[in-house]
Amino acid sequence: PSGIRDLLADVPKVEWDDIGGYEDIKQEIRKVVEWPLKYPEQFKKLGITPSKGILLYGPPGCSKTLLARALCTQCNLAFIAVKGPEIFSKYVGDSEKTVREIFKKARICAPSVLFFDEIDAIAPQRQGSTDVSDRVLIQLLTEIDGFESLKNVIIIAATNRPASIDKALLRPGRFDHLVFVDVPDREGRKAIFEVNLKKMKVNDDVKQGLQLLLDKTMGYTGAEICQICREAGLNALNRNIQNEFIEFQDFEMALSKVKSNITHEDRMQF
């Protein structure tokens, strides 16, 4: 019933090529999700259970959401996104109901990806049995344990704080596939700049100066590199509203404005 699917879920149009870099991770998550969908008989024959869940962890702005979306485009899966804090409503009891309903929706829309952004907000380390977040966590575990892996709902969760999620989530049969999505390396940054530059009208000196931009963006996230490109475009307009090309100087100026928010200490926690 594709009508229902369209109504309930978001069918994203992010292509793999819209994501600069992260080629290994793209391959890895494709395998985890595509193989069971394409070759379910092989899994049965060999007696192996596909992964139910993938946990993407790493600094903010490093393409986790984009990766989940591209996966859905590629495999034609409905995308149901839930932000951690959204689950907690003002009314006691409602949060657990929300969790149940989200899973129900995912089953109706199957094949689907149920994407929990900021899972650390939904499932922090347990505090004590009366806390509402403890009850939400238990509900979440019940839902995950309750369905069979082959029922075509894949759960993907993202977090910037992997150390603070409850360890019960990481047991086999739950989020048993962990993928670290770090800030991009030089090659990755180049690919992210290229994704952006492809859509922009830039002077030749920008291509010539690309190496310098790569030198100066060590430690920057994908989101921050996109921000630099946007800022460069605005700088060009600022110089002259009739400007037809964005120049290298616009990028240089953008660089001095957009600083990376990810510190060395932030990265060390992973």
Shorter beta-carbon distance to ligand ATP: residue 65 or 152: 65
Shorter beta-carbon distance to ligand ATP: residue 36 or 193: 193
108 with 122: CB under 8 angstroms? no
Instruction: Report the site for ligand ATP in 117-156 (rule: CB under 6 A).
Output: 117
Shorter beta-carbon distance to ligand ATP: residue 110 or 165: 165
Least distance in Å: CB of 14 to ligand ATP? 9
The yes or no reply on residue 19 touching ligand ATP (CB under 6 A) is: yes
CA distance 260 to 128: 38
Instruction: Report the site for ligand ATP in 23-82 (rule: CB under 6 A).
Output: 60-66
| Member of 195, 232, 246, 253 binding ligand ATP (CB under 6 A) | 195
Least distance in Å: CB of 128 to ligand ATP? 28
Burial (Cβ within 10 Å: 0-12, 13-18, ≥19) of residue 150? middle
Shorter beta-carbon distance to ligand ATP: residue 60 or 219: 60
Shorter beta-carbon distance to ligand ATP: residue 33 or 195: 195
CA distance 78 to 146: 20
In this chain, which residue has its C-beta nearest to ligand ATP?
A: 222
Both tokens assigned to 97:
């109901």
Identify the CA nearest to 37 among candidates 115, 132, 111.
111
CA distance 192 to 229: 10
Both tokens assigned to 205:
């000196």
| Member of 12, 21, 53, 124 binding ligand ATP (CB under 6 A) | 21
CA distance 71 to 29: 8
Shorter beta-carbon distance to ligand ATP: residue 71 or 195: 195
| Main-chain dihedrals φ then ψ at residue 165, nearest 5 degrees | -90, 155
Shorter beta-carbon distance to ligand ATP: residue 70 or 99: 70
Instruction: Report the site for ligand ATP in 207-266 (rule: CB under 6 A).
Output: 222-223, 226
Sheet holding 153-159, edge to edge: 78-83, 112-117, 153-159, 53-57, 177-180
Least distance in Å: CB of 50 to ligand ATP? 24
Three-class SS state of 123: coil
Least distance in Å: CB of 20 to ligand ATP? 4
CA distance 9 to 47: 32
Pick the piece of the chain touching ligand ATP (CB under 6 A) from 18-26, 27-35, 90-98, 161-169: 18-26
CA distance 145 to 29: 21
Binding site for ligand ATP (CB under 6 A): 19-22, 60-66, 117, 158, 160, 192, 195, 222-223, 226
